[in-house]
Structure 1
Amino acid sequence: MKIMVLSSYAPTLFLFREDMMNAMLENGHQVIAAAPEPEEEWESKFKKRNIKYVSIKGIERTGANPIKDIKGFFSILKAIKREKPDKIIAYQAKTIAYGCIAAKILNVNEIYALMGGLGSIIRNKNKKSLARNILKAEYKIAFKSCNKVFFQNKDDCNEAVGTGLIKNEKIVMINGSGVNLEKFTKKQIPAKPVFLFIGRILKDKGVIEYIKAAETVKERYPEARIQILGSFDTNPTAIKEEYIYKYVNEGLIEYLGSTNDVRPYLEKCQVFVLPSYHEGTSKSMLEAMATGRPIITTDAPGCREPVINEGNGFLVPVSNVEKLAEKMIWMIEHQDKVEEMGRESLKICREKYDVKKVNDVILKTMDLKKVRKNQNVI
Structure 2
Amino acid sequence: MKLLSLLESVALINPYTPSLVRFRGPLIQELVRRGVRVWVLGPDYTPEMRKEVAALGGLPVDYPLSRTGLSPLEDARSFLALVRFFRQERPRVVLTWQAKPNAYGIPAAALAGVPFRAAVVEGLGYVFTPGEENFKKRLLRGVLSVLYRISFALAHKVFFLNPDDLEEFVARGLVRREKAVLLGGIGVPLEEWPPAPPHLHPPTFTLIARLLKEKGVREFAEAARRVKARHPEARFLLIGPLDTNPGAIQEEEVRSWVKEGFLEWVPWAEDVRPYLRQTSVYVLPSYREGVPRSTQEAMAMARPVITTDAPGCRETVVEGVNGFLVPPRDVEALEAAIERFIREPTLIERMGLESRRLAEERFDAHKISERLLREMGIE
Q: CA deviation at 1:176?
A: 0.8
Structure 2 residue 246 is the aligned partner of structure 1 residue 240: no
Q: Secondary structure at the match of 2:118?
A: strand
Aligned pair partner of 2:30 in 23, 27, 30: 23
Q: CA deviation at 1:257?
A: 2.2
Alignment of 1:198-217 (within 5 A): 198-217=208-227
Aligned pair partner of 1:143 in 148, 152, 177: 152
Q: CA deviation at 1:88?
A: 0.4
Q: Secondary structure at the match of 1:232?
A: coil
Q: 1:140–1:166: 8 Å Cα contact kept in structure 2?
A: yes
Structure 2 residue 170 is the aligned partner of structure 1 residue 161: yes
Aligned residue identity for 2:372 = I
Report the counterpart of residue 320 of structure 1 in structure 2: 330
Report the counterpart of residue 376 of structure 1 in structure 2: none
Greater alpha carbon shift after TM alignment, 121-130 vs 257-266: 121-130
Q: What is the rounded CA distance, in whole Å, between the counterparts of 2:44 and 2:85 in structure 1?
A: 14
Q: Compute the RMSD of aligned alpha carbons.
A: 1.4
Structure 2 residue 139 is the aligned partner of structure 1 residue 130: yes
Structure 2 residue 362 is the aligned partner of structure 1 residue 341: no
Aligned pair partner of 1:310 in 313, 320, 330: 320
Q: 2:129–2:287: 8 Å Cα contact kept in structure 1?
A: no
Q: What is the rounded CA distance, in whole Å, between the counterparts of 2:29 and 2:150 in structure 1?
A: 30
Report the counterpart of residue 330 of structure 1 in structure 2: 340
Q: 1:124–1:132: 8 Å Cα contact kept in structure 2?
A: no
Q: 1:54–1:79: 8 Å Cα contact kept in structure 2?
A: no
Instruction: Give a deviation string over 1:153-204, Cα, whole Å, max 9, x none.
Output: 0110111001000111111111211111100011001222000000101001
Q: 1:122–1:136: 8 Å Cα contact kept in structure 2?
A: no
Q: What is the rounded CA distance, in whole Å, between the counterparts of 1:252 and 1:137 in structure 2?
A: 44
Report the counterpart of residue 4 of structure 2 in structure 1: none
Hey, which bits of structure 1, 4+ residues long, moved more than 6 A? none
Aligned pair partner of 2:183 in 171, 174, 177: 174
Instruction: Give a deviation string over 1:15-35, Cα, whole Å, max 9, x none.
Output: 211111111111111100001
Q: 1:39–1:54: 8 Å Cα contact kept in structure 2?
A: no
TM-score by length of 1: 0.95
Q: 2:10–2:38: 8 Å Cα contact kept in structure 1?
A: yes
Seen in structure 2, the aligned counterparts of structure 1 residues 79 and 346 have a Cα distance that, compared at 3 Å, is: same
Structure 2 residue 252 is the aligned partner of structure 1 residue 269: no
TM-score by length of 2: 0.94
Q: Secondary structure at the match of 1:111?
A: strand
Structure 2 residue 361 is the aligned partner of structure 1 residue 355: no
Structure 2 residue 45 is the aligned partner of structure 1 residue 35: no
Gaps of 5+ in 1: 370-378
Q: CA deviation at 1:219?
A: 1.5
Q: What is the rounded CA distance, in whole Å, between the counterparts of 1:273 and 1:112 in structure 2?
A: 32
Identity between Structure 1 and Structure 2 (%): 38
Gaps of 5+ in 2: 1-7
Q: 2:129–2:288: 8 Å Cα contact kept in structure 1?
A: no
Q: CA deviation at 1:14?
A: 2.3
Structure 2 residue 60 is the aligned partner of structure 1 residue 48: no
